[in-house]
Structure 1
């Protein structure tokens, strides 16, 4: 039983290493760079439709962060989950925790990506999807 618990914790410990890697977009591919897992490329044909990212904190749960940053500068967590079939096994763990089964996935969030709005629009354009404001997790109820 203890070994099974340790195995589960090992997967949970891998989550931060693959959840929101550095992302570069080109005309032909999406490039994900993780500090631990390195550089991986995926053609746009392997990139699925972005979905709301369920692993973000809910808007009312960040009382301390709002107090430390200040009410005027605070911005609620926003993000999307992007299934990318061409990514290796560690990204499948993230997909599993985010509710995508064993589909490899990455997240684009305003906390991990400075140019979040530009990235979202570029991914939507490249994957031929229209922007849906619900993806920003603002209207989840």
Structure 2
């Protein structure tokens, strides 16, 4: 499901967007967990289908490791938009005093859009936050909420 890819992007955004002069370069790891799925299901679908989707998304849950360089820290917002290959744009981006608050709009396959609200707190070596994806999908309105945890795990290499 494409929403899973967007959640992955959210993890990367939260894990690296929270970069400022306080963030320590090195190897970082992020993991996300879907905590809620709300969407209109087609007639005839089992009533627990959204719970099944949440379970499926979390069963694919794997840590994402990535190297954060001083250049990444200096140019984080610009690089993150480039990594979405033109599919996402920031509507709001605030990072200060250990807090991140961002709103991005992403064009999804199929021609619909999703808004992604990212909020979290960070230190030099860790980040905790949430991502809420909200929009209208092929079957109607959908909202997916995730938690994201990132931490520095060592040097790149």
TM-score (norm 1): 0.29
Higher relative contact order (CA 8 A, sep 6+): 2
TM-score (norm 2): 0.27
| Structure with more of its chain in strand, by fraction | 2
| Structure with more of its chain in helix, by fraction | 1
